[in-house]
Structure 1
Amino acid sequence: MTRPDDLPPEQAGNVITVRLATRQRLSRLDRSNISSASCGACGKTSFDALEIRTSPLASGLQVRRDVILTLPDRLKPVQETFRSTGGVHASGLFSPEGELIAFREDVGRHNALDKLIGWALTNHRIPLDDHILLLSGRISFELVQKAAMASIPVIAAVGAPSSLAIDIARQFNMTLAGFLRPHSMNVYTNPHRII
């Protein structure tokens, strides 16, 4: 290892050069042992490994259609990082009446949701079976899985769901609404929760 004080003056500073003593064969590593903060598919060796083990949600939550349609406008004013960068996603947790309970932003959609569920967990609020989740982008299957594990029965988003997200929402008795606009939305699963 080369330390900064061993470097020529033009390379001095916060520099450390590391050289491995032997060459490592990374192909021998079992990828399933790698932990990832990215989407639920990363690090999995098969589609069967993507399956989560939880029961279908039994929440009797019902939400007015007009409340769901207003959620993007209720989340937007608090998205300071998005306002200054235009490059982050948000996950917002709402009451059935549309009150913003908590939100988190991150460059990754899944990280924003992880932060929000982490907040709920540390504040002893799980299960979230009487809440609505709003996503600022598209709905992917891993976001639906995470919401299922936190017992969130209604997911709404400004973007589209993937077909696998729809399948998982149906499997876990979750209501999935996408393409939220001021006067319209698409409801993909369990529309009985939207009144």
Structure 2
Amino acid sequence: MSANQQSSNATDKKFNRGMMLRLLVVVALMFSFGYALVPLYKKICEITGLNVVTTRDLYGGQVKNTQVDKTRTITVEFDSNARGPFAFRPVKRSMEVHPGEMTTIVYEVANGQARDISAQAIPSYLPKLATQYFKKIECFCFKEQTLKAKEAREMPVVFVIDPDLPKDVKNITLSYTFFEIGTPVAQAPQGPLDAQPAGAGKGI
């Protein structure tokens, strides 16, 4: 092997070692940056107040709170009305919540019929002014529900009460009317008198 070839091989090896070291440094920096993102994200949330809501479990059990208005407690009562051949009710009748706190309540529905049923839920609120402050994030009332024959299911409602709710409001009632839709309307039977033209049979 010539001297030039030996010199070229040595240069290549040196270059490869240098490139490998640079790559290792880049990988180490990437890992370090990834670990640093977690505390950095937490600090950003603390400064900007992004993490302002909390959650409860599906049955209203409280999970650790962060930034909510703990100086106020609102009693939310849950009501249900069924307009169809099914059972419909909330799993809890009331719950204590703080404004700004994300909360979940579950409603249960059961179709006792041997046929499928389509139904829709319509919410209402008391007092009426609470409507604009009761923010639903997830709700079965957002769309039509189809219940299979003999099906029972749990349907969650995830909501937040706006902290701007007037201070004198301490109780809110959320009521749902769940009614069957898509059923044909029975027509009144037509008798002989129904077929007569207007004015027929009347004395002159």
TM-score (norm 1): 0.24
Larger helix fraction of residues: 1
Larger relative contact order (CA 8 Å, sep ≥ 6)? 2
TM-score (norm 2): 0.23
